[in-house]
Amino acid sequence: MQKNRLLASMGALGLAVFAVGWGGGPDRLPATSATAATVTGVVKFQGSPPTMPAIDMSGEAVCNDQHSSPPQERTVVVNGNGTLKDAFVYVKAGLDESVRHPAPRDSAWIDQVNCRYEPRVVGAQVGQRIAIRNSDPVLHNVNAKPTENRGFNISQPAQGMVSSRNFRVPEVMVRIACDVHGWMSAYVGVLPHPYFATTGDDGSFAIPDLPPGTYTLEAWHEQYGTQTMEVTVGADETSAIEFSFGAN
């Protein structure tokens, strides 16, 4: 009887150790669909949109021929409704760190189209595959220049090539460049969770499936830096916020 009790106690202890894990705390699940909250919003632009300089692609005929007129730099893209494109918005603080967010099986994608990166700004989770495609009939190379992660520099000489890499620690942002075509730039926001978004042609963003709570959100922009805002969302609730950047 004592032996059975000892074995039972050891089994319970083993289950407890397994549940807690070696990280010092139990893994907890994200919010369920019944309790999940959402933060939505827009990133507005104040003032007169700056004039972006033209890109001289004349030295690369394959690139130049894909544009009917000289393309412009896209450091600042102001949408027709007065919002800002390519702002990266993410939860910076407030998440329960005991909740684990495994990297998605799906890849985050960056394409090289008409000798530009598409999209210019993208998010990925730590450990998630970032697939980079060369859709142009010309040599590109993909040079990642992180400060916290290990960089890489990949040659893609053939149209249709896809190369995959990932980053192991959070970093906002990692710059991607092409050494062959100096006007090409992209940025990857690397986070340990899925709560991020990039503004598009209407300047809006949505971050769904958040556990109820109070969070610090940060908006990052290549030209204008960062802004933070605190927001509180309850169960099955949507809160709307607004960031605003300007030239002055």
**Full pLDDT tens readout for the chain, 248 residues:** 444 444 444 444 343 333 333 333 334 445 556 789 999 999 999 999 999 999 999 888 899 998 988 899 999 999 999 999 999 999 999 999 899 999 999 999 999 999 999 999 999 999 999 999 999 999 999 999 999 999 999 999 999 999 999 999 999 999 999 999 999 999 999 999 999 999 999 999 999 999 999 999 999 999 999 999 999 999 999 999 999 999 76
Query: By residue range, what is the domain housing residue 36?
Result: 30-246
Residue ranges with strand state E in 94-137: 108-113, 116-118, 121-125, 130-134
With respect to residue 6, please indicate whether it lies within any of the assigned structural domains. Answer: no
The pLDDT assigned to 16 comes to 37
With respect to residue 19, please indicate whether it lies within any of the assigned structural domains. Answer: no
CATH number at residue 217: 2.60.40.420
Task: Show the tokens assigned to 60.
Answer: 């690369």
The pLDDT assigned to 19 comes to 36
The pLDDT assigned to 45 comes to 97
The pLDDT assigned to 10 comes to 41
Phi, psi at 12, each rounded to 5°: -65, -40
With respect to residue 22, please indicate whether it lies within any of the assigned structural domains. Answer: no
Structurally, the chain folds into a number of domains equal to 1
With respect to residue 16, please indicate whether it lies within any of the assigned structural domains. Answer: no
The pLDDT assigned to 4 comes to 47
With respect to residue 35, please indicate whether it lies within any of the assigned structural domains. Answer: yes
The pLDDT assigned to 149 comes to 97
The pLDDT assigned to 30 comes to 56
Q: How far is CA 120 from CA 85, 143, 163, 175, 248, in A?
A: 10, 14, 17, 10, 24
Count other Cβ atoms within 10 Å, centred on residue 90. 23
With respect to residue 187, please indicate whether it lies within any of the assigned structural domains. Answer: yes
With respect to residue 15, please indicate whether it lies within any of the assigned structural domains. Answer: no
The C-alpha atoms of residue 82 and residue 47 are separated, in whole angstroms, by 9
* Burial of 239: CB neighbours in 10 Å, binned 0-12, 13-18, 19+: middle
The C-alpha atoms of residue 105 and residue 170 are separated, in whole angstroms, by 18
With respect to residue 8, please indicate whether it lies within any of the assigned structural domains. Answer: no
